[in-house]
Amino acid sequence: MTAPVANPSGIAAADCQFCGPAIAAAAIADSADGLVFAVRDRHPVTEGHTLVIPRRHAAAYFDLTADERRAADELMQRIFRTLASADPRITGCNIGVNSGASAGQTIFHVHYHLIPRRDGDTADPRGGVRGVIPGKRGYPYVLKA
């Protein structure tokens, strides 16, 4: 059994900014089963940066049900295909979840970040999500193609 992820904010569903009607009204897509929905990030890292959010209040990734994780995955795939079809410059994607304050979570209602990437949007993208720890993004060896 996994230990629960700390929710230092103590925010309950009634006070959660991802549980209210305003965020649901901003939805750009819903999963087929209605378990999750998507909105554009208010502070996008790249054009098309999208959040996928479960409708049920769950503080952290490890609180999600298998059905919610499956619905999120299916919705992210659909959104990515739609974005990539509309913008041929999209050549990749980062998907991330910050789970717990020590991992950088600031809104304690779990949500996925889907961040479309384009060739040249950063000088050296190697290491991707490893960059969450300063100095760890690169590799101590050279990757050969």
Number of domains in the chain: 1
Contact 43, 112 (CB under 8 A): no
Q: What is the pTM of this model?
A: 0.87
111 is catalytic: yes
Which of 141, 137, 113, 135 has the alpha carbon at shortest distance from 124? 137
Domain that holds residue 43: 13-120
Q: Is residue 50 part of a domain?
A: yes
Q: Is residue 59 part of a domain?
A: yes
Q: Is residue 115 part of a domain?
A: yes
Stretch 96-103: mean pLDDT, rounded?
95
Task: Give the CATH number for residue 113.
Answer: 3.30.428.10
Task: Please pick, among 43, 57, 109, 111, the residue that the annotation labels catalytic.
Answer: 111
pLDDT digits (tens, 9 = 90+) for 34-81: 999 999 999 999 999 999 999 999 999 999 999 999 999 999 999 999
CA distance 99 to 91: 27
